[in-house]
Amino acid sequence: MKRKVLNLMKATIFVLAWLVCLYGSAQEITVRGNVSDANGDPLIGATIQIKGSTIGTITDMDGRFVLQNVPSNSALEVSYLGMLTQTVALEGRSTINIVLQEDLELLDEIIVIGYGTAKRKDFTGSVSSVKLEDSPVALASNLNALEAIKGNVSGLDIGATNSAGGQPSMQMRGQKSISGSNDPLIVLDGVIFMGSINDINPNDIASFDILKDATSAAAYGSRSANGVIIITTKKGKSDKPIINFNASGSLQSWINRPKLMNGEQWIESVMARNNSTDLTWLKPQEAANREAGKETNWLDASTRTGWIQDYQLSVSGSGEKMNYYLSASYADNQGVIIGDDFNRASFLGKIKTDITSWLEIGVDAAFTKSDYSGVGAAINQAYVMSPYGVMYRDEEKKLLEKYPYTQSGQNPLWGVTNGSRDNTDLRDNFRMNAYTVIKLPWLPGLSYRFNYAGNIGKERRSDFYYESHYVKEGAYDDESRYSPEAYQNLLSNANGSIDNRNITSWVIDNILNYVANFDKHSIDLTLVATRDRRDYKREVMTGNDFAANGNTTLGINGLHKATVQKITLEGDRRSNIGYLGRASYSFDNKYFLTASYRRDGASVFGVNQKWGDFMAFGSAWRITNEPFMNDENILDDLKLKLSWGKNGNQGLSPYGTLSTIRNGAEAAARYQFGNSSNILYGMIPGTLGNADLGWETTESWNTGFESAWLNNRIFLDVDLYFSKTTDQIFERNIPVMTGFKTIKSSLGQINNRGVEITLRTMNITKQDFTWMTGVTFWLNRNKLAHLYGEDLDGDGKEDDDISNSRFIGKPLGAIYGYVQDGIVQETDTEYMEKNGVSAGVPKYKDLDGDKVITAADRDILGYTTPNFKLNMSNTLTYKNFDLYFMFTGTFGGGGYFLKANREAYMTNGSGLFNSNSIYIPWWTPENKSNKYPSAVFSGDGGRFMGLQSRGFVRLQDVTLSHTFKDKWLKDLNISNLKLFLTAKNLFTITNWEGDDPEVGSAVRENTYPVLTSFSLGANISF
């Protein structure tokens, strides 16, 4: 009986315990905790969700979360972009700390290639990538997208920006075309971009991928011979909507401003070059200003402190089914040169949504409005103007004098600030990209993508010169020149123009892709059918002579009142069609093969050459994955690669292959019969067509390696390449008996070879301090292998084109002329006698030994192209501080990177007897210079060039930033705050005289300077 009672008690206790467990499992609790990464840093916006339900929350700015009404026996799923999703069982706990680990597979670098993506480690071509988003480079005051990658990509030459809203030049792996474009193709978010790079807001860019070799760029066939720059814009990252505001202000200055002669130096110079013995040549007001000690530095008067304002507001987010990014920005740039102004407003909206597990759609739309209105001061006039000249003709210094005075030289600010000229330049651009991705469910890995990209550009330009712009030259105190009566007599000079341009384009891509992995094999197959079209229309209306109208009060709006009116209409259309097949294969993560074939048709080419075929092959071997490398501890990764391909360049304008005629007044074929007053116009031949004009084709080889060393602390990539570009398109002379002087032809060959090195090192990696260094080096050599194929002199060698400085077997950009041998001295009696010159003029080498300098003494003096480029960047991080700086160098030597700079040596040579310039210690019998000619030397028919090296080293970028992580930010609902200081072009080391060696602006040239800027800004996220 007792045993039964005991068993009953045990059963009762068991049932009660079971009921308690059931009650406990059904109990709901509040769970608190935080989410961090492996370094202990909080993860903001991480998603915490009860497994199997839709109930969840996200972490705050400190990585903390609170989740109510959670079953105590449930599990939480914790996820964050770039991290492995983690499932955590609560087991009754109400407080929990979660550490997420990086998803190494997800973070394996993905590069964007033609019509798709690839893992860098698997790719066989040469691709460089720059991650701009959240990098210190993105903090610099760059108003053009290309400036952000300058110096960061080996083999890619980005020029200087030297005007407000200006666009730098770009060239990849040397010049390949003689007369066609050498610009790389721009691809924006996976679609060929047919607008202006200035319409892409740098603040919206996430990354650049630069395709340099034929295998990488072959997907774009006929337009990829110059390489491809792929731009990817930002997208949402966090489940929580992120509001981000960026603001910066920059001061710009002209640090390397040339120092002009002061008044007394100028007088000394003018008297020396004109053999003057008195100052009677001074104008009365100049003499008065000299007596009063009043001098004007015209470069100072034509410049100011520049200013850049740049603001951006963006909202972004990413959910399970949707990703979005919206931004609006405004930039305003008042350049250092007075009148050089620019402003831009940009808007971008991106949205992507997964309708189902197999259907994705997305739309991107952007609008940019740019204003380039106004004209800048004439810097070339500021160089030459008399330091005692008259800036203003009134005591209040409000009324400019047009002729200050330097021998009819005009005030550099005339037409800029005095209201005698109105200039408008407004440009609008709208672009949209819509796409659909269908993952075909019956075959895993098979997908179809449809892209449609449209672009509309409108430009409205106008220029109007009032009668006051044409004030006559006269005495400084002759106010009658500026009287209403004088203006009335100048109405016939007033003129204006309206220039409206419309550019519309569209691109359609159909992309079929199949990716599969089985055992150790991996394949990626892509088929593409693409079409695009660009339409250009231009309407130019001009009006001259407003004398009959009696006034120009309406300005450009009264253009129809002009006596002489003209309307010019222009337009063209170019279309392309292309088909691509590409296959990539890898085995065991060791052996990689890529092959592609593209067939293109283009409307711009001759009827016999409409279609072209382009193909490429690439291979790579990851040698470190071989068994015999298992014991290698120093080398972490080594991939050898080799590729070959053939791409094209459309170096021809629409209708360039067709014969043309000229008619109307333009043809000057004017006929008048008998006594009739009727004038009839005939037609005359214009240009001779060529139906065989086709593609400029570039065939290239690329080999090299990508490597990682010392536990991924050193990354070294090396590329060697060789290319030959054939069928160059340019005009050549033909016998005039044909009725034409020139014809466009396809002939000639240019070879390019070079080496590119990219080195990245992790010098120091500690908890509170890191130091990283990046070095890029590249060297390019080109050679004109063939030109016309003629041997008219019968010497058994192909003839050079000396008149255009094109020499067979020599690089492009050759400088051909006389080899200077210092300055003729008084002791060079034989040289002076034989050549009829006097002491103090440039002396040249007698190469043929006949004692007389003739055309036979000419030789190649050097080349305009650089010798090599070398850049180094460093990034240092200490706690919440980041310091980034980059040195860039373009080097000459060996006769490379030369340019004529005559005015840096010549006192006399501007064509004006009393011009100003920099001070030059000219040759005299007492100062026997062997570098500078005498003051009276004004030129010798172009023999003297004054060649100088443009080589330089520059501190291009400096950025110092601090990220705040204080708790007070939470009280202001701020999730991130970063303040930064940046500087650009702090100093330049060079032997070039003049303004800037990079743009090659010589003394007294009308070229705007490369500026130094200092910026202060903030990035704030909510």
Q: Find all residues with CB under 8 Å of 626, minimum gap 6, and list them.
A: 590
Confidence of residue 53 (pLDDT cuts 50, 70, 90): low
| Residue 869 confidence (pLDDT) | 97
Residue 477 lies in a domain: no
Tell me which residue of 368, 327, 328, 324 sits closest to 350, measured CA to CA: 324
Q: Could you read off the pLDDT of 850-873 as tens digits, one per residue?
A: 999 999 999 999 999 999 999 999
Q: Find all residues with CB under 8 Å of 836, minimum gap 6, and list them.
A: none
pLDDT of 29 strictly over 90? no
**In terms of domains, do 122 and 149 share one?**
yes
Tell me which residue of 916, 905, 896, 910 sits closest to 842, measured CA to CA: 905
Average pLDDT over every residue of 597-603: 93
pLDDT of 106 strictly over 70? no
**In terms of domains, do 79 and 146 share one?**
no
Confidence of residue 1 (pLDDT cuts 50, 70, 90): very low
Residue 842 lies in a domain: yes
pLDDT of 693 strictly over 80? yes
Q: Could you read off the pLDDT of 458-485 as tens digits, one per residue?
A: 999 999 999 999 999 988 788 899 999 9
| Residue 631 confidence (pLDDT) | 81
Average pLDDT over every residue of 49-58: 72
pLDDT of 454 strictly over 70? yes
Does 921 or 729 have the greater pLDDT score? 921
Q: Beta-carbon neighbour count of residue 442 at 10 Å?
A: 5
Confidence of residue 107 (pLDDT cuts 50, 70, 90): very low
| Residue 4 confidence (pLDDT) | 42
CA-CA distance, 416 to 410, in Å (whole number)? 12
Residue 313 lies in a domain: no
**In terms of domains, do 124 and 228 share one?**
yes
**In terms of domains, do 72 and 135 share one?**
no
| Residue 5 confidence (pLDDT) | 41
Q: Could you read off the pLDDT of 482-504 as tens digits, one per residue?
A: 999 999 999 999 999 999 999 99
| Residue 667 confidence (pLDDT) | 66
Residue 755 lies in a domain: no
Average pLDDT over every residue of 730-751: 84
Confidence of residue 406 (pLDDT cuts 50, 70, 90): confident
Between 9-23, 504-518, 925-939, the lowest mean confidence (pLDDT) is in 9-23
Residue 524 lies in a domain: no
| Residue 54 confidence (pLDDT) | 56
CA-CA distance, 853 to 842, in Å (whole number)? 12
Find tokens 């895993």 and name the residue. Answer: 444
Q: Environment class of residue 786 by beta-carbon count within 10 Å: exposed (0-12), middle (13-18) or buried (19+)?
A: middle
**In terms of domains, do 166 and 76 share one?**
no
pLDDT of 556 strictly over 80? yes
Between 453-467, 676-690, 887-901, the lowest mean confidence (pLDDT) is in 676-690
CA-CA distance, 973 to 16, in Å (whole number)? 50
pLDDT of 3 strictly over 80? no
C-alpha separations of 572 from 654, 658, 687, 720, 776 in Å: 6, 13, 17, 40, 41
pLDDT of 160 strictly over 80? yes
pLDDT of 21 strictly over 50? no
Average pLDDT over every residue of 560-586: 94
**In terms of domains, do 91 and 208 share one?**
no
CA-CA distance, 862 to 847, in Å (whole number)? 16
Residue 703 lies in a domain: no
Domain with 229 in it: 110-236
Residue 212 lies in a domain: yes
**In terms of domains, do 49 and 166 share one?**
no
Percent of the chain with pLDDT over 90: 61
Does 530 or 13 have the greater pLDDT score? 530
Percent of the chain with pLDDT over 70: 95
**In terms of domains, do 117 and 230 share one?**
yes
Confidence of residue 14 (pLDDT cuts 50, 70, 90): very low
Confidence of residue 679 (pLDDT cuts 50, 70, 90): confident
Confidence of residue 18 (pLDDT cuts 50, 70, 90): very low
Average pLDDT over every residue of 109-114: 77
Q: Which of 236, 254, 282 is a domain's end point?
A: 236
Q: Could you read off the pLDDT of 490-545 as tens digits, one per residue?
A: 999 999 999 999 999 999 999 999 999 988 999 999 999 999 999 999 999 999 99
DSSP string, 532-567: EEEEEEEEEEEEE--TTT---TTGGGGGGG-SEEEE
CA-CA distance, 511 to 428, in Å (whole number)? 31
Q: Could you read off the pLDDT of 614-632 as tens digits, one per residue?
A: 999 999 999 998 998 888 7
Between 13-27, 679-693, 944-958, the lowest mean confidence (pLDDT) is in 13-27
Indicate the number of domains in the chain. Answer: 4
**In terms of domains, do 116 and 220 share one?**
yes
CA-CA distance, 594 to 583, in Å (whole number)? 6
C-alpha separations of 926 from 741, 826, 908 in Å: 54, 11, 19
Residue 530: φ, ψ to 5°: -135, 150
Q: Please report which helix (H) or strand (E) contains residue 290, including its range.
A: helix 284-292
| Residue 289 confidence (pLDDT) | 92
CA-CA distance, 336 to 234, in Å (whole number)? 32
**In terms of domains, do 71 and 120 share one?**
no
Decide if 494 contacts 546 (C-beta within 8 A): yes
CATH code for the domain of 41: 2.60.40.1120
Find tokens 């680990």 and name the residue. Answer: 101
Q: What is the pTM of this model?
A: 0.85
Q: Which of 804, 835, 856 is a domain's end point?
A: 856
**In terms of domains, do 119 and 227 share one?**
yes
Residue 90 lies in a domain: yes
Tell me which residue of 168, 165, 158 sits closest to 210, measured CA to CA: 158
**In terms of domains, do 146 and 220 share one?**
yes
Q: Could you read off the pLDDT of 237-291 as tens digits, one per residue?
A: 888 899 999 999 999 999 888 999 999 999 999 999 999 888 999 998 899 999 9
Residue 483: φ, ψ to 5°: -80, 160
pLDDT of 443 strictly over 60? yes
Average pLDDT over every residue of 408-432: 95
Q: Which of 217, 236, 255 is a domain's end point?
A: 236
Find tokens 């991939």 and name the residue. Answer: 639
Q: Strand pairing partners for 247?
A: 311, 1018
CATH code for the domain of 204: 2.170.130.10
Average pLDDT over every residue of 177-194: 88
Find tokens 């036979």 and name the residue. Answer: 856
Mean pLDDT value across the chain: 89
Average pLDDT over every residue of 15-36: 61
Q: Could you read off the pLDDT of 319-357 as tens digits, one per residue?
A: 888 999 999 999 999 999 999 999 999 999 999 999 998
CA-CA distance, 666 to 252, in Å (whole number)? 46
